[in-house]
Structure 1
């Protein structure tokens, strides 16, 4: 069981505090394992085993506990048996319980319990659910392994390989933890990844959101997955499906895209004016929770390497809590007093990512290789013309450092391995 300090360090300050800890993320990303790590830490601090109660609500033997009244009675009996000692309650896949959002705060109020939940669909924290929990919970989103976690896992498994060899596997098959048990053999890994995809689509999208026409969703999702990192609008998707003789309204397109985001399958990056910070209502980009799912569903991760690299960097920024947008249409203006401007005669150029975290900001370009002068100009020029004190990066798979004019060039692999220092 690999340690995941990125997440444990965030949870640790809240352990034992009267606030509900909710761990979210796509299925099989390691949420349950993270709760096991919390349990192990409590145990190392001297918390007795009987003071911790685990209930996985997707286990068949616990199917009766989806009834909130029965779950309440079981928790009550356990809490009463502790005789006033602090208890630690771990509930896996809490969204399986009807009216859980009313039950859980009551458990915290009535009993001396520290509560940890996991859930696989972001929708269960939206709307009226969040109203019941307002001010009572803190959320931690878990992603499949980062490249640095992947490398550490390979080392723990006794695998000796170069950074290039490790990254070649990672960028194709991704970071879902269970793949290590399959030895990263391509065919079994793809079968497993397809099973994750099918489960997410069926349980967290079709069933949970009561989607009546699953066939339309089945046509739309592969298109979105194939086009990660490409801009599109609801209308462009509608036209694409019309070309395949599939009739679907823009409203349905937007609904299904949102459902995919709620299922932690896709992540949206809004397009903003780099200077005025105006958010555009269309031409957004979407990224996939793990590049291995793209390989399993669509293939071509090797052929579409630019898209895959962009997806990997986007997810790494999310892991470290950065908000990420896509930059568009530079215009001369200021950026919070940072004297941020571009030359008035320069053409509009996209900046792949504008990442923000509190008062910090990063500008990043991502590409495969800086193969010639035209590619170098394409990647560096938008950042060069963006006069700002914030760090600016060009990331590629080149091993030769091409940093220039205050713009930092990094090998993507080295950037990912050093992300704990750069992004935390």
Structure 2
């Protein structure tokens, strides 16, 4: 199994803290595997097998435990007050009144609880309101570039990157067959769209729903408005209301297949309410939806950088500064901004000047970075703006 240190470190940090740990993330991003990795760490630190109880409620062996009273009885029969216990509940939404048993068990100081649930249930917004006990949320993404590269140490970084651009789902890290990879991504996509989005939102026009996502996938890194999507549909001879289109977009965001990134007014230190940008949770969905589109290398790199920034910072926005725009404004754990500009290459002096301009016009002293795929002159300092090779940066430890 691939080590996922950022996530296991988070779990260890919250170990025995009386918080219910809620693990979220797109389907097949590795939530259940994370439980297994964490349990192995606990065992190495002296936790005994009987202190760990792991139940997956999609497994029919535990069908009777989908009744919350039986589940509560099952746990109480296997625990006592003399030692600590670690409870792992996968697909908890299958348990009737699951919140009753989770909240009750969390009252016991020697019980530490970790849960996952389906996207469809999380997107309803009901989950957090049902947990009266204090809880902490961890979002699990597909593999980072560093996690992915750990399986290909014998390849050059550029060769690893060429593979990584296709998909970062853990199951596909060593899959050589293009057909197998495409089938897996299609299956994952169908699970999200059919089981999570269509059922939850009761959508009957799946073809139009998919066209909306195709437009967003083709516009990664560009400003997108509901009107722009509507105009695209009209060109396709499809007429829908703006409210319907907005509902479809929200469904994809809630299904964790895309991320909506608000614009941030740098001078005013406030969020702007229109023209957000969107990024995909995995670039395999882009290839699936746009098989004939070809590579938009600049925006592919930008998508990858966005996901890594999401791992490293509290919040990530698109920056707006008067007439210029900064690709990303990140808010760190001390509530300070950090600025990132992303470019495929800047060997052309005019390109370099353009990419530096938006950062130079920011008049504060917070860190500013220019990330590129340049190999020649890949590291430099332009009056405090630090240029880095993007692949080297992706391999750095979390800041």
The reply to whether TM is greater than 0.5 is yes
User: Where do 1:111-122 residues align within 5 Å?
Assistant: 112-121=110-119
Give the corresponding residue for 1:25: 25
1:171-219 CA distance string (max 9 Å, x none) = 2x22111113423x33321221111111111122122333343333222
Contact 1:191–1:296, Cα closer than 8 Å, also in 2 = no
Q: Does 1:406 find its partner at 2:381?
A: no
Q: Indicate the larger mover: 254-263 or 129-138.
A: 129-138
User: Where do 1:298-317 residues align within 5 Å?
Assistant: 298-299=290-291, 303-317=295-309
Pairwise CA distance, 1:154: 2.2
Give the corresponding residue for 2:78: 78
User: Where do 1:6-405 residues align within 5 Å?
Assistant: 6-79=6-79, 82=80, 84-109=82-107, 112-121=110-119, 124=122, 127-134=125-132, 136-155=134-153, 160-171=154-165, 173-183=166-176, 185-299=177-291, 303-330=295-322, 348-359=323-334, 360-399=336-375, 400-401=377-378, 402-405=380-383
CA distance in 2, matches of 1:320, 1:64: 41
Pairwise CA distance, 1:117: 0.7
Cα 1:167–1:181 change in 2 (3 A) is closer
CA distance in 1, matches of 2:294, 2:347: 17
CA distance in 2, matches of 1:409, 1:238: 39
- Structure 2 SS opposite 1:91: strand
Pairwise CA distance, 1:312: 0.5
Pairwise CA distance, 1:226: 2.2
CA distance in 2, matches of 1:325, 1:122: 26
CA distance in 2, matches of 1:350, 1:19: 40
Cα 1:409–1:123 change in 2 (3 A) is farther
Contact 1:95–1:124, Cα closer than 8 Å, also in 2 = no
Contact 1:301–1:308, Cα closer than 8 Å, also in 2 = no
Contact 1:294–1:301, Cα closer than 8 Å, also in 2 = no
Q: Indicate the larger mover: 140-149 or 201-210.
A: 201-210
Pairwise CA distance, 1:128: 4.6
How many residue pairs are counted as aligned between the two chains?
396
Give the corresponding residue for 1:338: none
Contact 2:103–2:133, Cα closer than 8 Å, also in 1 = no
Pairwise CA distance, 1:86: 2.5
CA distance in 2, matches of 1:215, 1:64: 38
Gaps of 5+ in 1: 331-347
CA distance in 2, matches of 1:327, 1:218: 29
Gaps of 5+ in 2: none
Contact 1:397–1:411, Cα closer than 8 Å, also in 2 = yes
Cα 1:31–1:383 change in 2 (3 A) is same
Pairwise CA distance, 1:50: 1.8
Q: Indicate the larger mover: 105-114 or 237-246.
A: 105-114
1:343-387 CA distance string (max 9 Å, x none) = xxxxx1111100111333211111111142221122111111222
CA distance in 2, matches of 1:242, 1:63: 48
TM-score normalised according to structure 2 size? 0.92
1:130-157 CA distance string (max 9 Å, x none) = 23325511111111111111111223xx
Give the corresponding residue for 1:415: 393
Q: Indicate the larger mover: 104-113 or 407-416.
A: 104-113
Contact 2:106–2:133, Cα closer than 8 Å, also in 1 = no
Q: Indicate the larger mover: 137-146 or 368-377.
A: 368-377
Q: Indicate the larger mover: 215-224 or 297-306.
A: 297-306
Pairwise CA distance, 1:8: 1.3
